Amino acid sequence: MKKWSSYFGKLIWVMGLFLLTIISFNIKYKIHAISTSTYSIVPVIWTNFIILFIWGVYLSLIFIKKWTIKINLPLLICVFLPCFLFSLFVPLAMIFSISLPLGDIWFNKVVRSNLIEMVAGLTFMLSIFNNLKSESE
């Protein structure tokens, strides 16, 4: 019975993936339509950040096997925090009118990849629900 529940859980996750895809597409479309009429790009940037972070959180659900809080501090500090802060740079720069170094090729590629926000969401969840056994266990 436990074997079948594992298959069922993965199928539910895939259905949620399709549902999240549809919802995020609809939200992006509506926010883009609103921002086009108001000539403001700030809602688009924040929506993109939030949706991609949620995507990272959702993708992490497939990796979490045990829902007990056990913080992985190196992952939280060395991966999540830099990715989260870097992904916040673009939305905050739009609000506070900070000039973006879009001339820098590496910065432009990293910002446009949309991976940093997803990695931040993924590592946030994985660093809180650490499933790795320590060497002493």
Provide the residue type at 3 as one letter.
K
Does residue 134 surpass a pLDDT of 60?
no
pTM: 0.83
pLDDT digits (tens, 9 = 90+) for 87-116: 988 788 777 777 666 556 777 777 778 899
Q: Say which residues have a Cβ less than 8 Å from residue 86's Cβ, sequence separation at least 6.
A: 110, 116
Terminal-residue alpha carbon distance, the chain: 29
In three-state secondary structure terms, 66 is coil
Helix, strand, coil: what percent of the chain each, to 5? 75, 0, 25
